[in-house]
Structure 1
Amino acid sequence: MDMTTELLDVRRATYARLRGGYPVILAGMIYWLALAALSPFMEPIALLQAAFPLSGAIFPLALVLAWITRNSFMKDRTALSPVLLPTFIAMLLFWPMLLIAAAEASPGVVMSILAIGLSLHWPVIGWTYGRTALYCGHAIARAMLVLWIFHAYPDQRMLLIPLAVAACYGVTAIIVFIDSAMAARRLGLMSDAKGVAPAA
């Protein structure tokens, strides 16, 4: 077995074992649903002031969901694990752009940057799972939806953008849950499927 094939096998096994990180996906969906629910009751600036710190709750919420579902993704280690830190650092670099926009641009622009920026790590996460197309598809669909809403519904951006992103998460979670279960079954991991292990 050559190194490329061996690496692909590791990636696919990780995806099946961790169920594609679905607790993290569900946590992201809950975050964006919360912003959509708050939108009618808060001024745009106030909503953004809540959105920034609340984004820090996504990962702790994912840990809670992982505990509930017995999906111990934090304990899982493979040869690919070291790539996660630079992946998340690269994603977090959008925050200076976001803060500059918050100081100079409209709330709709800021919400759009937040919605797209929090998906910058998805393509690499998808690669580590051997599901590049699926996770890239989420990120691209999300970006295109945000762009469309920004231009088509300028007065509803603060509501529709969070709703659209939450919908992307929901659809992706369903696909990942089903696909990873099928992958686990193929690899004989279904005994672990509910719990062993689950990625904004």
Structure 2
Amino acid sequence: MDLRDELLDVRRSAYARLRGGYPIIMAGTVFWLALAVMSQFMEPVAMLQAAFGLSGMIFPVALVFAWLARIPFMKDRTVLSPLLVPTFIAMLLFWPMLFIATAEAGAGVIMSILAIGLSLHWPVIGWTYGRTALFCAHAIIRAGLVFWIYYAFPGQQMLYIPLAVAACYAVTALIVYADASRLARRMGMLPARQAQAMAV
């Protein structure tokens, strides 16, 4: 086995072991659904201000979901783990653009930047799991939906964009869970009872 194959095995093993990080994806679903609900009761500016703060709750909620699913991703370490820090730093660099837009642009523009900006790390995360195409598809479809909604529904952007992003998260979570669980079963990482149940 050459270095490339060894690295791919490490990536796929992490994907199977951590079930593709689906608890984190579920936390994203909750966040965007919350924004959709808030859009019906709050003025756009107040909603966006709340969204900026609530975005910091995605990770704590993900930790709760991971604990419930018994997936200790905070303790998991591989040779690729150091890549996560620059990946998230690169994603967080969109925030200055968001703050500039907050001062200069309308609520729909700000919501669009938030929706796309929070997906900038997805392609790299997908690569670390050996599932580049799947995670890139999420980011590309998500960006495309936001772009389309911004121009197609100028009066409903604050509702439709969060709903569309939440739908992307939910569908991706289901796909990732099923895909990672199948891989875990093939790699012998599932408990016997769970593997038997999935085989039925």
**Shift, 1:190, TM fit:** 1.0
SS in 2 for 1:41: coil
The Cα offsets for residues 127-181 of structure 1, whole Å up to 9 and x where unpaired, read as 0000000000000000000000000000000000000000000000000010000
In structure 2, distance between residues paired with 1:57 and 1:152: 30
What value does the CA root-mean-square deviation take over the aligned residues? 1.2
Return the alpha-carbon distance in structure 2 between the equivalents of residues 190 and 145 of structure 1: 36
Contact 1:181 1:193 survives alignment (8 Å)? no
Q: Which of the pair has the greater relative contact order for Cα pairs under 8 Å at 6+ separation? A: 1
**3-state SS of the aligned residue for 1:79?**
coil
In the alignment, which residue of structure 2 is the partner of 1:128?
128
Shift of residue 192, structure 1, vs aligned partner? 9.2
Query: Residue 41 of structure 1 aligns with which residue?
Result: 41
Contact map agreement 1:108 1:158 (CA 8 A) in 2: yes
- 1:25–1:173 contact (8 Å) kept in structure 2: yes
Deviation of 1:39 (Å): 0.5
**Any conservation in 2 of the 1:111–1:161 contact (CA below 8 Å)?**
yes
Aligned-pair identity (%):
71
State the TM-score, normalized to the length of structure 2. Answer: 0.95
1:51 counterpart residue number: 51
What TM-score comes out, normalization by structure 1 length? 0.95
Distance across 2 between alignment mates of 1:69 and 1:11 = 21
Equivalent residue letter for 2:88: F
The count of aligned residue pairs is 194
* 2:148 equivalent to 1:148: yes
1:74 aligns with 2:74: yes
Over 4 Å off, 4+ runs: none
Indicate the residue corresponding to 1:114 in structure 2.
114
Q: Distance in 1 between matches of 2:53 and 2:179?
A: 33
Deviation readout 1:27-53 (Å, 9 max, x if unpaired): 000000000011011110011010000
State the Cα deviation string for residues 45-78 of structure 1 (Å, max 9, x = none): 0110100000000000000111111110000000
* Aligned residue in 2 for 1:198: none
- 2: CA distance, partners of 1:69 / 1:114: 28
